[in-house]
């Protein structure tokens, strides 16, 4: 009896020990590689994720390592997780990251939280960059990040469908009036069942889309003015929303499903010939001209037609910033300057189609041959607007998104929807 | 000898050496898992309670103001989107759960009959429930698509509709479509539980009713229903709590749109906490949802929980 119980006890203790040590081991594996003793010429760079990796990156990083004799460790995170990883790392004041990527939408909160270290004035010539990029990444005159890639919305149309409707593919719409009349000609209901087989225009009416914001800017309106007053219910914006809604409900040149369509749904309709013109993101150009695309060569890309301004589009960007808590700031600053230099941006544009933030790159001869849409991109980007640069930007956009959905749904008139939105935003911002 | 047999296992056997009783051995084996789960569960729950008393916005650092019940007051008085979400959740739960119960009960009745191929039917009916929720949502999003969806195509072909309908894009039909999809997915749960309950009813009781002159309807009312009351209660309780917390279906299908027509408590809380970064307010909302669900559960148990010993 004695021996059996002793053995029993030993087995139990051994098992408990094994289980505890196993759980220790597994939790160890979850931790990131410890940057225990970082030599002073190495950097940790948090980057976009595998889908952005193309040969140009390798070329650039190796160029930097060779020039400065440094070594760069890259941590990749998928775009959806970058924000969470950044917030948790920076809120913990960790010195793990030396250079990070930041979306323009995160700038107000990161800067107000003191996460980012301002960049030295001497290395930046602001005139070289797009205005919207400088505006997005600076506060009170100081630059907190260097803009690297930019994104904007464009209008795409099917040249073959233009020709079929008797329109000249080389004379794209330039104003709202053009857009409407072209769309009306391009909306075709052959079997007269009330549902057109081909729609003239398509936009994304989801509250998380940016399409209405572009119509708003095209009419000279905005959500907040330069002083930060709420002007989302000004007459220009109401007029823009009325036009936006009329395209769908009154003129019926836009499919009713736009209230729930994602940009990818629009692109699919566009490729299938169900929608002749769409407002979408630059990836449509690349996808439509891929080697296996049935509409290769039949697509044109133009800046959005304007109304009170010649053109307007949403400005989005990824920039490089240095966390306040990094221990390698000098080297990080050199890295940032290298990556956002003219040569660096040109390599990435040619290799992966990432639109640069430096204006001159678009006019480079090598670029013009490989990227035929470079001049179109530049023209649109010169008229690009930033979304509100306030800390509560996500919620502000959600409130405006709700307003245009209510207007599209005809639950409220455009004026009422925007008045309610203005009241809600004022309430939100005054706290 | 008697005393030996009656001794409960908790008592230690007094002998030299260190002995563990059966219960103590079991607890020791399970202790790592218990401790781990405890920490994983308790810490977040305590955090939520703590955060709800503070004004925390993730985009502002080092300024966690203690506001006591300020978050709760703000939700109750100033947040009309919360009440829209609450209303939608009530409509969703109030329509989906009773319908699922009724249809589940009828189908379970059918499956209870001794048909030869009922095995195949049982498998078929389980399929919607075993489909991963997001996959089911995306599948239905395609089926209900305005331009290229099968539902619109079939309905217009057979004349039920004159023109395709924007199922998920119109306020009236969006919530109904979501309820329908949830019914499609969750009715098998009721079938499963109710069928299991029905199988335990002794056949002699049915025959007793037949002898007394009752038809199939009387059999159901007087024999089956009272005996499966426990199954009905359990399944109703579980389903109501799940329906109140519905998130994945709505977030994937409509993202709470159009214009908040399908916004429910869970999606609104998620948006407040993770999209608008207002942790304090989101935590307060979570606690309100918790309280509502607790009250509902207590109501259920009190209403249907009395076991008659007839």
Tens digits of residue pLDDT in B182-212: 999 999 999 999 999 998 888 888 888 888 8
CA-based nearest residue in chain A for residue B148? A269
Among A5, A194, A391, select the one facing B17 at the smallest CB separation: A5
Which range in A150-154, B1-5, B165-169 is most confidently predicted, on average pLDDT?
A: A150-154
Q: Tokens for B184, please give them.
A: 């499609």
Residues 6 or more apart whose Cβ sits within 8 Å of residue A266: A202, A203, A204, A258, A275, A278, A280
Residue B225 tokens, joined: 């229903």
CB-based burial, A406-425: b 16+ in 10 Å, e otherwise: bbbbeebebbebbbbbbebb
Nearest chain A residue to B22, by CA? A8
Which of the pair, A5 or B154, is modelled with greater confidence? B154
Task: Identify the CA nearest to B182 among candidates B268, B266, B117.
Answer: B266
**Three-state DSSP class for residue B275:** helix
| Cβ within 8 Å, pair B28-A398 | no
The partner residue sitting opposite A16, judged by closest CB among B28, B145, B169, is B28
Structural tokens at position A416: 């009422």
CA A235 to chain centre: 28
Average pLDDT rounded to a whole number, residues A310-324: 92
Q: ipTM strictly over 0.90?
A: no
Shortest CA gap A328–chain B (Å)? 23
Give the closest residue to A161 by CA, choosing from A187, A138, A140, A133: A187
Q: Which of B36, B257, B277 sits opposite A405 (nearest CB)?
A: B257
β strands within A267-400, DSSP E: 275-280, 299-302, 313-314, 316-321, 355-356, 384-385
Asked whether residue A29 carries a pLDDT value surpassing 60, the answer given is no
* Mean predicted lDDT score pLDDT of chain B: 85
Which residues of chain A does B257 touch, with a Cβ-Cβ cutoff of 8 Å?
A: 206-207, 259-260, 405
DSSP state letter for B200: T
pLDDT tops 80 at residue B19: no
Residues facing residue A319 across a β-bridge:
A102, A147
Q: What was the pLDDT predicted at B66?
A: 84
H or E element in which residue A218 lies: helix A211-218
pLDDT tens, position by position, A217-243? 999 999 999 888 999 999 999 999 999
Largest Cα span, chain A: 100
* Residues 6 or more apart in contact with residue B150 via CB below 8 angstroms: B142, B143
- Identify the band that residue B307 occupies on the pLDDT scale cut at 50, 70 and 90: low
CB contact under 8 A, B58 and A109: yes
Please indicate if any CB of chain A lies within 8 Å of the CB of B254. yes
Over range B20-48, report the average pLDDT: 88
At A30 the pLDDT is: 39
pLDDT at A387: 93
Whether residue A251 is predicted with pLDDT greater than 80 in this model: the reply is: yes
pLDDT, mean of residues A40-58: 73
Backbone phi and psi for residue A336, each to the nearest 5 degrees, phi listed first? -60, -45
How far does B17 lie from chain A, in Å, by closest CA? 7
Contact B277 A194 (CB under 8 A): no
Flag the least confident range among A12-21, A164-173, A300-309: A12-21
Mean pLDDT of A269-287: 91
A61 contact partners, CB below 8 Å, separation of at least 6? A72, A74
From B213's Cα to the closest Cα of chain A, the distance in A is 58
How far does A159 lie from chain B, in Å, by closest CA? 22
Min Cα separation A357/chain B (Å): 26
Which residues on chain B are in Cβ contact (under 8 Å) with A108? 59
Q: Are A144 and A324 in contact (CB under 8 A)?
A: no
Residue A93: which region, alpha, beta or left (left: phi > 0; alpha: psi -120 to 50)? left
Rounded distance between C-alpha atoms, residue A350 and residue A358, angstroms? 14
Q: Does B308 touch chain A (CB under 8 A)?
A: no
Structure confidence at residue B305 (pLDDT): 63
User: Do B18 and A269 make contact, defined as CB atoms within 8 angstroms?
Assistant: no
Q: Do A274 and B259 touch (CB under 8 A)?
A: no
CB-based contact, B142 to chain A, within 8 Å: no
Give, for A24, the enclosing helix (H) or strand (E).
helix A2-30
- Partner A contacted by B110 (CB < 8 A): no
On the CB side of B177, CA atoms within 13 Å amount to: 28
pTM of the entire structure? 0.80
Greatest mean pLDDT range, A317-326, B64-73, B216-225? A317-326
Calculate the average pLDDT of chain A: 87
- CA-nearest residue to B162 within chain A is A193
Q: Which two tokens stand for residue A369?
A: 């041959």
pLDDT value of residue B43: 86
State residue A32's pLDDT score.
Answer: 42
pLDDT in tens, A71-102: 888 888 877 778 888 888 888 888 889 999 99
Q: Which pLDDT value is given to residue B17?
A: 65
DSSP letters for A146-158: EEEEEE--EEEEE
What ranges in chain B are assigned the alpha helix state H?
Answer: 2-6, 22-51, 70-78, 80-112, 118-130, 133-143, 150-157, 171-199, 203-211, 216-219, 225-227, 229-244, 248-253, 265-270, 279-304
Mean pLDDT score, B294-304? 83
Position A60 pLDDT exceeds 70: yes
Q: For residue B304, give how far its alpha carbon lies from the nearest alpha carbon of chain A (Å).
A: 41
Nearest CA in chain A to B166: A257
* Residue A215 C-alpha, separation from nearest chain B C-alpha, in angstroms: 19
Q: Is pLDDT above 90 for A280?
A: yes
Cβ contacts (< 8 Å) between B144 and chain A: which residues?
none
The confidence score (pLDDT) of residue A1 equals 60
Tell me the chain B residues in contact with residue A402 when contact means C-beta distances shorter than 8 Å. 259-260
* Torsion on CA atoms A219, A222, A223, A229, rounded to nearest 10: -130
State what percent of residues in chain B have pLDDT above 90. 35
Give one DSSP letter per residue of A66-116, joined into a string. Answer: HHHT-EEEEEE--HHHHHHHHHHHHHTT----SBEEEEGGGHHHHHHTT-B
**Mean pLDDT, range B225-229, rounded to an integer:** 87
Burial of A369 (C-beta count, 10 Å sphere; 0-12/13-18/19+) = exposed
By C-alpha distance, the chain B residue nearest A393 is B276
- Give, for A64, the enclosing helix (H) or strand (E): helix A55-68
Q: Is the separation of the CB atoms in B275 and A393 below 8 Å?
A: no
B213 close contact with A: CB closer than 8 A: no
Inter-chain touch A398–B163, beta carbons under 8 Å: no
């Amino acid at each position: 009896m004695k021996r059996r119980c002793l053995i029993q006890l030993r087995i139990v203790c051994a098992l408990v020990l094994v289980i505890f040590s196993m759980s220790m081991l597994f939790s160890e594996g979850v931790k990131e590689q410890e940057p225990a003793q970082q030599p002073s010429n190495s950097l940790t760079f948090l980057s976009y994720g595998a889908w952005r990796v193309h040969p140009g990156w390798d070329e650039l990083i190796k160029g930097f390592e060779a020039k400065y004799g440094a070594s760069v460790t890259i941590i990749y995170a998928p775009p959806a997780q970058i924000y969470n990883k950044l917030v948790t790392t920076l809120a913990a004041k960790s010195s793990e990251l030396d250079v990070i990527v930041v979306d323009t939408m995160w700038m107000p909160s990161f800067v107000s939280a003191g996460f980012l270290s301002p960049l030295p004035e001497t290395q930046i010539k602001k005139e070289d960059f797009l205005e919207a990029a400088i505006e997005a990444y600076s506060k009170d005159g100081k630059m907190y990040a260097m803009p690297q890639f930019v994104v904007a919305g464009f209008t795409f149309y099917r040249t073959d469908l233009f020709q079929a409707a008797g329109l000249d593919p080389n004379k794209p719409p330039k104003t709202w009036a053009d857009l409407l009349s072209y769309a009306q000609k391009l909306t075709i209901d052959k079997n007269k069942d009330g549902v057109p087989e081909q729609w003239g225009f398509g936009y994304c009416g989801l509250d998380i889309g940016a399409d209405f914001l572009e119509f708003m800017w095209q009419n000279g309106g905005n959500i907040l003015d330069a002083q930060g007053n709420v002007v989302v219910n000004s007459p220009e914006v109401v007029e823009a929303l009325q036009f936006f809604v009329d395209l769908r409900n009154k003129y019926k040149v836009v499919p009713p499903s736009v209230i729930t369509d994602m940009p990818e749904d629009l692109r699919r309709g566009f490729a299938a010939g169900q929608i002749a013109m769409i407002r979408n993101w630059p990836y449509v150009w690349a996808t439509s001209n891929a080697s296996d695309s049935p509409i290769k060569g039949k697509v044109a890309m133009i800046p959005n037609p304007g109304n009170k301004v010649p053109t307007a589009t949403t400005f989005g960007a990824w920039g490089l910033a240095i966390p306040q808590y990094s221990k390698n700031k000098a080297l990080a600053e050199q890295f940032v300057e290298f990556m956002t230099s003219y040569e660096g941006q040109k390599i990435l544009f040619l290799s992966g189609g990432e639109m640069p933030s430096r204006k001159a790159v678009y006019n480079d001869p090598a670029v013009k041959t490989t990227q035929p849409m470079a001049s179109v991109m530049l023209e649109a980007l010169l008229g690009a607007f930033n979304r509100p640069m306030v800390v509560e930007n996500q919620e502000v956009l959600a409130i405006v998104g709700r307003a245009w959905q209510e207007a599209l749904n005809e639950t409220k008139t455009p004026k009422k929807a925007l008045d309610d939105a203005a009241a809600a935003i004022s309430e939100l911002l005054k706290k | 000898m008697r005393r030996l047999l009656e001794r409960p296992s908790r008592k230690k056997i007094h002998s030299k050496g260190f002995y563990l009783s059966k219960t103590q051995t079991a607890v020791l084996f399970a202790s790592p898992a218990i401790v781990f789960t405890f920490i994983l569960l308790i810490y977040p729950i305590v955090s939520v309670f703590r955060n709800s008393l503070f004004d925390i916005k993730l985009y502002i650092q080092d300024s966690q103001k203690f506001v006591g019940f300020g978050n709760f007051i703000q939700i109750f008085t100033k947040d009309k989107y919360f009440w829209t979400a609450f209303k939608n959740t009530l409509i969703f739960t109030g329509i989906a759960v009773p319908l699922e119960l009724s249809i589940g009960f009828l189908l379970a009745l059918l499956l209870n009959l001794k048909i030869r191929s009922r095995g195949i039917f049982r498998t078929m009916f389980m399929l919607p429930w075993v489909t991963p929720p997001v996959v089911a949502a995306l599948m239905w999003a395609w089926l209900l698509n305005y331009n290229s969806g099968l539902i619109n195509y079939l309905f217009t072909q057979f004349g039920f509709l004159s023109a395709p309908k924007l199922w998920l894009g119109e306020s009236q039909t969006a919530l109904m479509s979501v309820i329908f999809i949830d019914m499609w997915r969750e009715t098998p749960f009721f079938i499963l539980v109710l069928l299991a309950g029905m199988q335990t009813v002794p056949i002699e009781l049915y025959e007793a009713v037949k002898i007394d002159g009752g038809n199939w309807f009387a059999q159901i009312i007087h024999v089956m229903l009272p005996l499966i009351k426990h199954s009905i209660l359990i399944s109703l309780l579980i389903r109501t709590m799940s329906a109140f917390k519905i998130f994945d279906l709505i977030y994937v299908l409509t993202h709470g749109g159009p214009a908040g027509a399908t916004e429910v408590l869970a999606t609104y809380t998620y948006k407040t906490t993770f999209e608008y970064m207002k942790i304090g307010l989101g935590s307060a909302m979570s606690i309100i949802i918790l309280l509502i669900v607790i009250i509902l559960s207590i109501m259920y148990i009190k209403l249907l929980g009395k076991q008659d010993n007839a």
